[in-house]
Structure 1
Amino acid sequence: MGKKRTREVQDDPTVDKMDEDDSSSDEDMDIVNVDFELFNYDSQIDFHGIKTLLRQLFDTDAQLFDLSALSDMIIEQNTIGSTCKVDDKANDAYAFLTVLNLQQHRDKKPVIKDLITYLSQKAKQTDDPKLASTVPELLASDKAVVGLVLAERLLNMPAEVIPPMWSMMIDEIEAAVEDKEPYEFTHYLVVSRTYVEVASALDDERKIKKPRESSPQLQYFHPEDEEMRKHALASGAYGFTKENEAVADSKRAFQELGVKPQGFMMLIEASKFERAVKAVGEYVGSAA
């Protein structure tokens, strides 16, 4: 299928640019305009790009799942969700968004069964009692219909590309429901990633003593998650099963503190999902 939508995004205007009078440089910083285009999934093009982004989304726990099967599922339902690319449809996706019907696939697709077990266990590990009790109950229910929302993008992608993807998916879900397709959800379970800064093991080796916070502040890889969680019935972060203590040092990025990625989930009632998506669009627009 062809292009779904084009969105022009400029560099972040809040980023400091070089002083025009700086004698150390003879060149001015220019604004670069990039066209990000949204496409339906294509089985001939998107498999490896989606699998790579899924591996990033699930971080060290990606090895727990059959990501090839999950990528195939996402691509097969090509009218729900989008890929975001630059220049040409034939390129790998820079971002993707989709929603999967967990109840429909739980007895047919082993990867969905694994995800349900995993998410039920991780919900119980969060510090939100409502999430811990509600998610396992909903995922085991024959009456509730939970849509698993998977979204990821390359780290340097601007947040401005995200609201059109979410808005378009809502329109696609509405059209699918009108066509009697299985996308009439009672709840949406959005899976994402967060992180906290942690003292590095390298500091201990060098015998550098630094004050440690008892409860590090949660940070967001996707800034829109902070706004979306305000509309959630429950939300919380959880540690990865395959977490390696050395990972924090590998992600220090020349900072005194290391970075410890965590999983993050938000449970949103279907009646509030559209408003949450609208709020994300307003939030990203106001922050631009």
Structure 2
Amino acid sequence: MSNKRNKEIVHDSESEGEQESGSERDSDVDSDGNYVGEKELQTDFEGRNPEDCDFHGIKQLLRQLFLKSNVDLGALAQIIISQNYVGSVVKQCLDDGIDEDDDDDVGDGVFGVTTVINITKRKEESCVKQIRTLLTTLADGNADEKTKALVNKILSDDGSQVGLVINERILNIPAAISVPLFSSLQSEIEKAVKKNMPYTFQYLIWICKTYKTSEDETDVLFANQEEKPLTEEALASFDVDVTEQAELSQWDYEGGAMTPYRKVLIFDGKKFTQLVRLMKEEVEGV
């Protein structure tokens, strides 16, 4: 029997012009190439426990976050799969007529991943060592002295369990999907803690994908909209310009250029419930 467990479902609408190709798509565009059709296609997404068949999809999503950093993303993907009792991948819902036991070849269709990894308990694993080194290096080059000291403190103290939150999805998946995913993650963490598993965190580290305009660097756009209000709750934070690592150094946004950054946030681990609530309020307020 398959061990897949369906979680929450999110509905998303996409223009038919985004799905069709060739002559069918041409019929819905004007002479300037603009889509003018009115039809929409309905797509259902669901959260599921990560499985071996999701390896490549998870690895691709991790590359969005870590870019060209010296982190073994394959090994990190394996950790996420190995602890599949905590965390979810986002996949398109199966057709009613498909037997879940026979769908091993559809695993590459991973549209998102949400989980948390204990980078203290797993500090001897090679990819986690790389992440810890990366965090220290990034802080040394971009953070103020107080934040550098905090990063060094929490990573050097084995008595402080540090969780790395991973919240990645492909572009255009609506922020609304984050609400059931994080609610599920919260519940799974609570169950794991009751079983004396190492998911009681003193600190949480969260790396957000952000963009800044060249005209006003204080104007920050979050790739994952739900993460925007979290900055106010952080113990410390710092920004890292990843222009040199990104495939495209700048993105056009409403007529202006956006430069890619990573915002590293550090939280008190006890605030996770509050962070989930803030994300829900942000999504529902859009």
Superposed pair shares fold, TM > 0.5: yes
Provide the residue aligned with 1:183 in structure 2: 199
Equivalent-residue separation in structure 2 for 1:65 and 1:271 (angstroms) = 28
Provide the residue aligned with 2:61 in structure 1: 53
Equivalent-residue separation in structure 2 for 1:72 and 1:280 (angstroms) = 27
Cα deviation, residue 32, structure 1: 4.0
Q: Residues 126 and 273 from structure 1, CA distance in 2 versus in 1: closer, same or farther, beyond 3 angstroms?
A: farther
Residues 149-195 of structure 1, C-alpha deviation per residue, up to 9 Å, x if partnerless? 11210011100101111111111011001111111111111122112
Provide the residue aligned with 1:20 in structure 2: none
Q: Tell me the TM-score normalized by structure 2.
A: 0.80
1:93 aligns with 2:102: no
In 1, are the aligned partners of 2:10 and 2:176 still within 8 Å (CA)? no
Q: Residues 257 and 29 from structure 1, CA distance in 2 versus in 1: closer, same or farther, beyond 3 angstroms?
A: same
In 1, are the aligned partners of 2:12 and 2:44 still within 8 Å (CA)? no
Equivalent-residue separation in structure 2 for 1:273 and 1:53 (angstroms) = 23
In 2, are the aligned partners of 1:128 and 1:234 still within 8 Å (CA)? no
* Uncovered stretches (5+) of structure 1, i.e. residues with no partner: 13-22, 199-211
Cα deviation, residue 236, structure 1: 2.4
Equivalent-residue separation in structure 1 for 2:253 and 2:178 (angstroms) = 29
Equivalent-residue separation in structure 2 for 1:176 and 1:244 (angstroms) = 36
Residues 39-77 of structure 1, C-alpha deviation per residue, up to 9 Å, x if partnerless? 00111x11100000011111232xx11111111111111
Equivalent-residue separation in structure 2 for 1:74 and 1:225 (angstroms) = 21
In terms of fraction of residues, the more strand-rich structure is 2
| Equivalences, count | 255
Equivalent-residue separation in structure 1 for 2:283 and 2:184 (angstroms) = 16
Equivalent-residue separation in structure 1 for 2:130 and 2:209 (angstroms) = 19
1:83 to 86, 89, 96: 89
Higher relative contact order (CA closer than 8 Å, sequence separation 6+)? 1
* Uncovered stretches (5+) of structure 2, i.e. residues with no partner: 15-29, 95-102
- In structure 1, the residue corresponding to 2:60 is in which secondary structure? helix
In 2, are the aligned partners of 1:53 and 1:95 still within 8 Å (CA)? yes
Q: Residues 282 and 46 from structure 1, CA distance in 2 versus in 1: closer, same or farther, beyond 3 angstroms?
A: same
Provide the residue aligned with 1:273 in structure 2: 272
In 1, are the aligned partners of 2:75 and 2:127 still within 8 Å (CA)? yes
Please report the RMSD computed on the Cα atoms of aligned residues, expressed in angstroms: 2.7
Cα deviation, residue 285, structure 1: 1.1
- In structure 2, the residue corresponding to 1:280 is in which secondary structure? helix
- For 1:53, the aligned partner's letter is L
In 2, are the aligned partners of 1:148 and 1:189 still within 8 Å (CA)? yes
Provide the residue aligned with 1:123 in structure 2: 139
Provide the residue aligned with 1:143 in structure 2: 159
1:36 aligns with 2:45: yes
Equivalent-residue separation in structure 2 for 1:50 and 1:245 (angstroms) = 19
Q: How does 1:173-212 map to 2 (within 5 A)?
A: 173-198=189-214, 212=215
1:159 to 164, 175, 187: 175
In 2, are the aligned partners of 1:11 and 1:31 still within 8 Å (CA)? yes
Q: Residues 133 and 274 from structure 1, CA distance in 2 versus in 1: closer, same or farther, beyond 3 angstroms?
A: same
Q: Tell me the TM-score normalized by structure 1.
A: 0.80
Deviates more, 1:28-37 or 1:188-197: 28-37
In 1, are the aligned partners of 2:251 and 2:259 still within 8 Å (CA)? no
